[in-house]
Each structure stands twice: as C-alpha cells, then as structure tokens.
Structure 1
Amino acid sequence: MDSTPAYILIVEDEPKLAALLGDYLKAAGHETAWIANGLDVIPAIRAREPDLVLLDLMLPGRDGLDICRELRSFSELPVIMMTARVEEIDRLLGLELGADDYICKPYSPREVVARCKAVLRRNRRSPPPERHALHIDENSWRATYHGIELDLTPVEFRLLRTLSAAPGRVFSRESLLDGLYDDHRVVTDRTVDSHIKNLRRKLEQIAPEAPLIRSIYGVGYKFELS
C-alpha cells in the first residue's frame, strides 16, 4: 500500500475503465471520486480540491484541454491527461496548458497508478519554492538574483518573468514566442534559443552552480528554482 494516500479525481466517460482505475487506485491506498461529464469537473474541484486529477481528453460536455485551461487559472493541483488522440501528444508534452504528465490509451492500470505515485511524490516533496533568490519587479522592469540586479533586455525580462512564474512547467518555444515582442513581429524558434542562451549566461554569472533554465529536448524550456 502506498504510504502517501491521496484523494484522486478520475474524469473519464467510460464507466468500466473508470471503475477499473478506481479499483487499482483504492488498492494502492488512495481515495477516489469519478466524474463522467466535463461540465461537472470544475464545480467538483471547487467544492473539494483533490490531490490529483486524472483527466481524459475526450469528454461529453467539455473537453479535457478546456477544463485544464480553466483549472490552471485558479489552481496548481497536479493533472495527468489521458488521451487516445496521438496528434495531441505534442501539445500535452509541451504542457502549454499546465498538465503535469500524460498517458496514452490503451494503457495498463498499473502504469496509471505508478504515474500517479510519481507525480504525487514530486509535488509533495517539492513544495512551492521560496522566491527570495530571484525577485522580479514588473512595475519597474527590474530583476535581481541573490540580491544582484540583472542587466536584462525587455525580451529577456519577459522570458524570465514567464518562466519563473510557473516553476517546473515546460513551455514550448511557440508559447514563449507569443509573448516576446510588443509589436508581434514574425520571428523563428531559434530567436527564443538565442535569448534563452543570453539569459542563462547572465544568471550563471551570479550563481553558476545553480542553473535555473533547463532545456527539454524537442519541446522547449522550463524554470527550476534550486
């Protein structure tokens, strides 16, 4: 039995599959609840926030991506997306909507339990990091790291502000590009890479032993506070 039981919300419109997942999760020591209609998910979470949501992509009433988008507007609770739509994997891998992991159908219930355990352990052992080392003042467009002011360009400031606002979340290059320039000029993915390189260099000049921006091969970047 898992030594860290949790309350897990299963959002799945196939009753047999939901029941099977529930049985395996309960056997691992967790408490579960089941919702079949996408329209009921947000109200249920607001009524009692679970420790983790298993969220199917294709649901009646409202799809999983839309649910995840609204959920991230008010909560950072862990979400594992479940999908049979292979074409959506790139979007899920990019975690543009804030999902913590994804599982492709068909899957083994044991794999789902293992993924839940890993995500729960990661979130419980990594509470929201203290932000005293990095401070961003949006009013004055100034950023300091370990008390030292960073000499950032407007684009570098926007990148750092976006990444640091969601530690651990992976941002695709495309999503980062959307917020780089006020004039919405057309730029390439490599533009992001170049700015990230310069931003890393400035951060590492202050604390070379604690890199903050990590590359996720084939996807994009994420921010990690040490």
Structure 2
Amino acid sequence: MTLIKINAVIFDMDGVIIDTEPAWQRVEVAVLSQLGVPITLADAEKTTGMRIDLLVHYWYQKYPWPEYDNQAVSQQIIDGVIHFIETEGKPMQGVVAALQACQQQGLKIGLATSSSSDLIASVMNKLAIRDYFEAIASAEKLQYGKPHPEVYVNCATALGVEPATCLAIEDSFNGLIAARAASMQTVAIPATEFAGQSRWQVAHHQLAHLGQLKSLIENI
C-alpha cells in the first residue's frame, strides 16, 4: 500500500493521551446502574469512543428508564471522569516523547475527541501539554460524534491540511472508523487486552504504545 506523505498527526484523547478509558467505563456502569441499566464493564467497552450524549441515548434505547434526562446523566458521568483525571489521571506511555517527535519532524499536531470542552481542559491542565496542539476539535456540539468523521475533518481544516495527509491515532474502533471515513491514515493503539483482535486490521498501522510513534513517523 502506497501512502501519502503526512503533514500532521491528529491524536484522540481518551485512551491515547490519558488513561481514562477504564474510568469512563467504571463511571458509566456506576451511574447507569443507579438508573436500573444492567450493564457490565464488558458492555461499556462497546461504547468506547462514543460521544457522551450518544452513549447515554444508546443505553436508554436498550433499557429505557423513567424521567429520561440525557443532559443530566451525561454531566454526571463527565463529572465522575473529571474527578478521576484531577485525582488519578496519568498520561499514556510515551505521550510527551510522541508529541516532541512530531514537532521534530515538522508535523502539525491536532486533537480530535468526542469529549467535552471541560474534559479537554482538565486533561490539558493535568498533563501540561496544551502548547503542543495547534488545533483542538471536539465533537461535543456537532450533530454526530465518532464514528462519524466530522470531528476529524474539522481538525484537519483547523490545521490547514488535507485529511489524506493526516495520521490519526486512535484506541477505539469507533474512532478508527471515523478517521478512516475522513480519508486519514490511521494508527490503532488498542488496550493491551484487546490488541490481538482482528478488527484492528482496518488500521494502516498498529502500535503497542505511543513510545513507538517516533520510529513510525520517521519512516512514513
């Protein structure tokens, strides 16, 4: 496969930059269980990468509960994850080295996430990495979140590059589909326990962690 030379690297946030996916799943299960939704951590893994309001709607469609208030439930989950970030949040392996490698290669750096602006601010503050990013795009107020490609297209536009010249880094299948639909080159960095699944073959590249990104971008 011949790939176009990349001009930018666009990172997903949760599960790529910061280790929040287990927190998302724990909080999701805890909040929804209080509403009578019988889901497990394994069930919550299916919604990884989905925007929070779409996630809540997804479970409501399967297990309707009385007095449905998507915004209130979504905010309760977000607040729980922000608390986790502020108290326990840690960067994923190789984050700063990967960002520095992108800069050294003269690549523009963007962020394309389904997470809300308050969550983004919490992560940027906690890890002190905001200055690395030339563009930050959130699907928070878009009509559709991932796996729809709009958030990735918006990020490429903000960076001033064509989507086909972007390398998108994702840990979730929903995010990977979004990046592929935006015509981007892709890197999958799934959680270790899911790394052997055949679905990641849809990505152009698969890495174990961001510490391996420097070698990859030097050879693309």
Pick the structure with more helix per residue. 2
Pick the structure with more strand per residue. 1
- Which protein has greater RCO, CA pairs closer than 8 Å, 6+ apart? 2
Scaled to the shorter chain, the TM-score interval is 0.3 to 0.5
Larger radius of gyration: 1
Structure-1-length-normalised TM-score: 0.32
Structure-2-length-normalised TM-score: 0.33
